[in-house]
Structure 1
Amino acid sequence: MRMNEKDSCHTHERKSHHSEETKRNLTSRLNRIEGQIRGVKGLIEKDTYCDDVLNQISAVQSALNSVSKILLEGHLRSCVTERLQAGETEVVDELLITMKKMMK
């Protein structure tokens, strides 16, 4: 890992440092979700039965939750761990706020 990548979580210009494999995985998942969203829009335009549309929306939400879980795990294992090791305990408060938003 290059030095600027390792330090990127706790600089003023914070960036993630996901592996290329993780980025491809997340991008692929988000592309599928984007297609699902277009599909839901199409169902609504075609006056599809509400229960069928709601089931598709539930599938989209589940897919987004999966993306969030992958990002959260990576964040905990890298950014949060590194910042705690550097003595930046405010990262815990930041993480708690984010998790509260995720659990709405």
Structure 2
Amino acid sequence: MDKKEYLVALRRIEGQVRGLQRMIEEERDCKEIISQIAAVRSALKRVGILIVEEYAKKCIIGGENAESEISELLKDLQSLF
């Protein structure tokens, strides 16, 4: 994925969040709201994983400080999940 694709995905998520706000304003059914929250979380998780993969490919593999970079990446992954 390139920068443009990440931005497209994030804009889509932004739209989902706006939809979620409308649902709450309209007092929609709790099940629908929870389902939308799950969809937003899932979409953010996918983008996060793609960014981590890209980072690993570009910055860690063959890098000078690969071991410390991997350690930092694992910490970041823990907070992502």
20, 23, 29: which one aligns with 1:43: 23
Gaps of 5+ in 1: 1-20
Q: Secondary structure at the match of 1:48?
A: coil
Q: Look up the match of 1:56.
A: 36
- 1:73 matched residue in structure 2: 53
* TM-score of the aligned structures, taking structure 2 as reference length: 0.91
Residues 1:95 and 2:73 aligned together:
yes
AA aligned to 1:26 is: Y
**Match for residue 22 of structure 1?**
2
Superposition deviation, residue 82 in structure 1: 3.7
Deviations 1:4-60 (A, max 9, x none): xxxxxxxxxxxxxxxxx6111000000010010000000000000100000011111
Check 1:87–1:29 CA distance in 2 against 1; reply closer, same or farther (3 A cut).
closer
Q: Over alpha carbons, which structure has the higher Rg?
A: 1
Q: Tell me how far apart the structure 2 counterparts of residues 60 and 90 of structure 1 sit (CA, whole Å).
A: 32
After the TM superposition, list the runs of 4 or more consecutive aligned residues in structure 1 that deviate by more than 4 angstroms.
none
Identity of aligned residues (%): 31
> Letter of the aligned partner of 1:96 in structure 2?
L
